């Protein structure tokens, strides 16, 4: 069994010392009460829930997996999941960031992200059930009628019901324009929904008394492609007088047998003239889904952080305890049969890589989440608009890069264990397996890269990048004379300048050949990600100077920043070279 301790110190450092979240949040509309005291208390409780209730279910849940009963076409979750969900719901966590009008606690989105990190570290598979519900809540809040909100939203916020997002079909994955599920109007305001959806997370389970599916389907007069998709509410049990009544004709046809996240039910969902109701405008379903995409993608980025954090904690602990070999410069523990693994520079490289990527990702994700709050409740229109543009730009980095870095972090964590990492009982291999899905769902890395370069840079004329570079420039200027930041301001400023120039050059090249976009996108995503993390590491050094954290904590921040700049940031050279190599180096394959 692997250990887990909620990283409260680091999260508080990122939130309050680096990002000054208390000042930012209390200045927002309706933010008077969002003081550090309150937020600290919420973080502490979330940490406890994760450590005491969720973390112990992680490994047994993986071993047991979900059960599918052919006769009833229903799914049962692993032992302990239902009880954990009950405690989560009773604690009010399902509605933490939802409006009070729907029974929520109206806390800032950044608190949703911060607490979700703990829950996902505790048990990623389990955390997918509330995560899907959160997506459904956002859809209902933004696009539902008052009646729909009243009927479906409140019970989901209360944790009595859960939600799903039914988009994917066998022939329609990244390209949802290909989807075929049909919606026939009945004439009484309802629709008959018919089709097969695959890979539906939380499609069926035993955690709640009803499941509200949000389903993308085509109306009979729908235009072809992505402009002809509408969104429908399809409850598992039809709702009568606010209560689940007659069974609707939507059933789980099977569950997938997966490489990881085995406690999460990934279902084939068969809709056979199931009763559904249009939500939002006809043919605007995909656009409606897109309005929730930032939150959903950010949450998957957090999954990368959450898995990496737990893997890092365990590998550090293992390296401290495992006695093997002697230090290159002579024994460090002469009274023991061997030194511990920490004396080996190569083991420290693996550990520091994890620490730099984990703590850097945490700052990036919390910063992005704060933009969500500013976008919603900033003092004036210009402030809200800027936050919205900055957020749109950062999302593909927060999702695409952080989830890819989680592959590296979990791999390095396993490597620290040596052969023992490969043995199931030691638990660390589960993180490697669980992490593999996060670069695939909610838009693959390829789709994030195309979104960053194609949409956020080219279509939107790089407005988000310009905001970000202006912020980096202002930071460099403000700290130009700061002794502690001397090693970092020069390289960061130079890379920010290079990022702007490379982007301009690339934009011109793509005008001459659109294939250059696809050829550069992945490397451009990573290149952007490393510079973004460098900015947050420089901010961490500045914040450590003023922080009231313990001296050892502050020294670890300085050491990790130095490691990041010396040993991780140079990866930008490699990605720049690959970008400049262009599409000519990607010949046709027969
Ligand atoms: C465990 C699990 C849970 C899931 N949960 C849900 C859920 O709850 N609801 C739901 O609707 N779906 C869900 N999905 C589906 C998931 O979102 C899709 O698998 C994903 O969108 C990718 O689609 P695909 O698998 O068809 O891959 P494809 O779209 O076939 O992609 C294959 C490869 O081609 C690349 N590619 C495709 N198009 C482009 C492009 N335009 N530019 C660059 N590269 C491209 C991709 O990056 C990828 O590497 C889940 C999937 C899994 C495995």
Q: Are residues 140 and 264 in the same domain?
A: yes
CB atoms within 10 A of CB 498: 14
Nearest atom of ligand 1 to the alpha carbon of 175? 29
Residue 388 CA, ligand 1 centroid: distance in Å: 26
- Would you call 129 helix, strand, or coil by DSSP? helix
Query: Which residue is it, tokens 């920043």?
Result: 561
Q: What is the pLDDT of residue 291?
A: 79
- Would you call 98 helix, strand, or coil by DSSP? coil
Q: Are residues 131 and 274 in the same domain?
A: yes
Q: Are residues 306 and 281 in the same domain?
A: no
Q: Are residues 320 and 277 in the same domain?
A: no
Structure tokens at 27: 């200045």
Residue 589 lies in a domain: no
- Which of 443, 473, 500 corresponds to the end of one domain? 443
Residue 471 lies in a domain: yes
Angstrom distance (rounded) from CA 385 to CA 3: 42
Residue 2 lies in a domain: no
Q: Are residues 216 and 132 in the same domain?
A: yes
Nearest CA owner, ligand 1 atom 44: 446
Residue 588 lies in a domain: no
Tens digit of each residue's pLDDT (9 = 90 or more) over 177-191: 999 999 999 999 999
Catalytic residue among 442, 501, 545, 580: 442
Q: Residue range 231-248: average pLDDT?
A: 97
Domain limits for position 409:
292-443
- Nearest-Å Rg of the Cα atoms of the chain is 24
Length of the chain in terms of residues written: 590
Q: How far apart are the first and last CA of the chain?
A: 48
Residue 452 lies in a domain: no
Residue 449 lies in a domain: no
The overall average pLDDT reported for the chain is: 97
Residue 444 CA, ligand 1 centroid: distance in Å: 6
Nearest atom of ligand 1 to the alpha carbon of 261? 1
Residue 493 lies in a domain: yes
- Which of 246, 268, 290 corresponds to the end of one domain? 290
Tens digit of each residue's pLDDT (9 = 90 or more) over 370-427: 999 999 999 999 999 999 999 999 999 999 999 999 999 999 999 999 999 999 999 9
Nearest CA owner, ligand 1 atom 17: 441
Residue 406 CA, ligand 1 centroid: distance in Å: 18
- Residue 173's nearest CA partner among 213, 216, 218 is 216
Looking at residue 337, what DSSP letter applies?
S
DSSP for 417-464?
A: TGGGGGSGGGSHHHHHHHHGGGGTSSS-HHHHHHIIIIIIIIITTTHH
- Residue 397's nearest CA partner among 532, 289, 542 is 532
Angstrom distance (rounded) from CA 18 to CA 37: 17
483 catalytic residue (yes or no) = no
Q: Are residues 349 and 303 in the same domain?
A: yes
Q: What is the pLDDT of residue 289?
A: 87
Residue 285 lies in a domain: yes
- Which of 263, 290, 317 corresponds to the end of one domain? 290
Contact criterion met (CB below 8 Å) for 397 and 365: no
**pLDDT interval class at 343 (50, 70, 90):** very high
How much of the chain, in percent, has pLDDT values that exceed 70?
100
Residue 399 CA, ligand 1 centroid: distance in Å: 14
What pTM value is reported for the model? Answer: 0.98
DSSP for 99-126?
A: -GGGT-----HHHHHHHHHHHHHH-HHH
Q: Which residues, judged by CB distance below 6 Å to any ligand atom, belong to the binding site of ligand 1?
A: 165-168, 173-174, 199-201, 258, 266, 437, 440-441, 444, 446-447, 450
- Residue 3's nearest CA partner among 59, 42, 85 is 59
Q: Are residues 45 and 111 in the same domain?
A: yes
Nearest CA owner, ligand 1 atom 14: 199
Residues in contact with 242: Cβ distance below 8 Å, sequence separation at least 6, in sequence order: 151, 155
Q: Are residues 145 and 282 in the same domain?
A: yes
Q: How many domains does the chain have?
A: 3
**pLDDT interval class at 280 (50, 70, 90):** very high
How much of the chain, in percent, has pLDDT values that exceed 90?
98
- Residue 266's nearest CA partner among 425, 411, 434 is 434
Nearest CA owner, ligand 1 atom 52: 199
Residue 265 CA, ligand 1 centroid: distance in Å: 17
**pLDDT interval class at 565 (50, 70, 90):** very high
Q: Are residues 230 and 341 in the same domain?
A: no
Tens digit of each residue's pLDDT (9 = 90 or more) over 452-488: 999 999 999 999 999 999 999 999 999 999 999 999 9
Q: Are residues 402 and 492 in the same domain?
A: no
Angstrom distance (rounded) from CA 479 to CA 538: 10
Nearest CA owner, ligand 1 atom 24: 173
């Amino acid at each position: 069994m692997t250990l887990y301790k909620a990283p409260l110190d680091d999260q508080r450092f990122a939130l309050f010392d680096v990002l000054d979240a208390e000042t930012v949040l209390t200045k927002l509309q309706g933010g008077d009460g969002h003081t550090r005291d309150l937020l600290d208390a919420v973080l502490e409780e979330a940490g406890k829930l994760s450590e005491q209730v969720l973390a112990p279910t992680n490994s047994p849940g993986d071993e047991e997996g979900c059960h599918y009963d052919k006769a009833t076409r229903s799914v049962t979750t692993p032992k302990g999941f239902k009880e954990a969900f009950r405690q989560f719901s009773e604690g009010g966590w399902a509605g933490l960031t939802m409006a009070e009008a729907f029974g929520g606690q109206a806390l800032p989105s950044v608190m949703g992200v911060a607490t979700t990190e703990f829950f996902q570290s505790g048990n990623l598979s389990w955390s997918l059930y509330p995560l899907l519900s959160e997506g459904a809540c956002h859809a209902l809040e933004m696009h539902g009628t008052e009646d729909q909100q009243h009927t479906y939203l409140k019970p989901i916020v209360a944790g009595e019901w859960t939600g799903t997002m039914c988009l994917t079909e066998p022939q329609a994955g990244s390209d949802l324009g290909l989807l075929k599920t049909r919606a026939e109007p009945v004439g009484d305001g309802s629709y008959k929904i018919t089709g097969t959806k695959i890979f539906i997370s939380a499609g069926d389970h035993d955690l709640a008394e009803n499941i509200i599916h949000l389903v993308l389907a085509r109306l009979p007069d729908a235009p072809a492609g992505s402009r002809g998709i509408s969104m429908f509410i399809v409850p598992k049990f039809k709702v009568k007088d606010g209560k689940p009544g007659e069974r609707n004709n939507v059933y789980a046809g099977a569950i997938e047998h997966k490489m990881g996240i085995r406690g999460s039910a990934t279902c084939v969902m068969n809709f056979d003239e199931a009763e559904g109701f249009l939500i939002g405008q006809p043919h605007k379903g995909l656009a409606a889904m897109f309005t929730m995409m930032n939150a959903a993608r950010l949450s998957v980025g957090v999954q990368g952080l959450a898995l990496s954090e737990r893997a890092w904690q365990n590998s550090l602990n293992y390296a401290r305890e495992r006695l093997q070999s002697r230090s290159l410069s002579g024994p460090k523990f002469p009274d023991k049969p061997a030194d511990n693994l920490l004396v080996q520079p190569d083991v420290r490289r693996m550990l520091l890589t994890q620490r730099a990527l984990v703590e850097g990702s945490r700052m990036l994700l919390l910063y992005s989440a704060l933009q969500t709050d500013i976008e919603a409740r900033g003092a004036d229109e210009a402030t809200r608009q800027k936050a919205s543009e900055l957020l749109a730009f950062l999302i593909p980095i927060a999702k695409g890069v952080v989830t890819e870095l989680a592959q590296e972090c979990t791999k390095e964590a396993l490597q620290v264990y040596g052969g023992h990492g490969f043995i199931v009982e030691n638990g660390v291999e589960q993180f490697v397996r669980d992490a593999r899905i996060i670069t695939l769902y909610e838009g693959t890395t390829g789709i994030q890269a195309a979104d960053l370069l194609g949409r956020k840079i080219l279509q939107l004329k790089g407005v988000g990048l310009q905001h970000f570079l202006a912020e980096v420039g202002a930071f460099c200027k403000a700290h130009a004379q700061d002794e502690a930041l001397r090693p970092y301001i020069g390289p960061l400023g130079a890379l920010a300048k290079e990022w702007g120039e490379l982007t301009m050059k690339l934009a011109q090249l793509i005008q001459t050949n659109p294939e250059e976009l696809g050829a550069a996108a992945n490397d451009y995503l990573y290149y952007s990600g490393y510079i973004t993390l460098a900015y947050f590491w420089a901010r961490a050094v500045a914040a450590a100077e003023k922080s009231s954290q313990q001296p050892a904590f502050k020294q670890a921040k300085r050491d990790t920043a130095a490691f990041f700049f010396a040993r991780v940031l140079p990866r930008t050279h490699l990605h720049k070279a690959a970008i400049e190599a262009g599409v000519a180096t990607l010949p046709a394959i027969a």
